[in-house]
Amino acid sequence: MGWSTNAGMIGYNDIWRHYRRLFNNWFNARTVPQFHEIQQNQARSLLRRLLTVSKEEYPFPQVRHEFFFTLASTMFQVGYGYRLKGLNDPFFENARQTIHNFTEAAMFTNFFVNIFPMMIHIPDWLPGTGWKRTGKEWRRIKEKAMDGPFEWTKAQVAAGTAEYSIVGALLQEHKLVSHLSEEERDNRLKELGLIMYSGGVDTVAKTSSRRWTHS
């Protein structure tokens, strides 16, 4: 499925430490205030949408969607300088589906290959190997989730029209990635974008949803 290069899966090594340096550079008490305006604007937009949602007979499902979308909008703007166009934005849909697929794949009992890793060597043409096709499709979605917003930001930087963002700044000869080849830099920044989304959106949204459910 292509998760072997993700920071959460690679274990403690030089690449993991590099990801940590990247995060420490952008997400610390000294630097996060630069993103306060983005957060404030997103919060105001959320409140306006919630006013409309509150008039519905059963508002909670939509409230959850709106909260999740606000977190995603914030992270896409902070990470890529990209403003989501709505709940059906393909960048948003691909990222959301990728994290859902990862959660499904990580469930130990969902796939026998999790229990018997040697099954990965079984030929695709054998009966009962539909899970291999599933894995390939989920890998394709993950690659779209990483490539789409990254290439968009890269094009904006090249054109000189990019909004300030973490990935955009790192693409502009930043010292934290200057030791990498262009291919290594791009691959690492793609993974970084997905990490920001999963950590900043999926984790927070699920935690908040559980709190609302029990409140």
Q: Domain residues of the chain, as ranges?
A: 14-214
Helix (H) or strand (E) holding 164: none
8 Å CB contact between 172 and 181: no
Q: Per-residue pLDDT tens, the chain, 215 aa: give them.
A: 556 677 666 778 898 899 999 888 888 889 889 999 999 999 999 999 998 888 877 777 888 888 889 999 999 999 999 999 988 999 999 999 988 888 877 776 767 666 667 777 788 777 777 778 888 898 899 999 999 999 999 999 999 999 999 999 999 978 899 899 999 999 999 999 988 888 777 666 555 555 544 45
Burial letters 94-130, b for 16+ CB under 10 A, else e: bbbebbebbeebeeeeebebeeeeeeeeeeeeeeeee
Which pair of tokens denotes residue 1? 């499925």
Q: What is the CATH number of domain 14-214?
A: 1.10.630.10
8 Å CB contact between 100 and 202: no
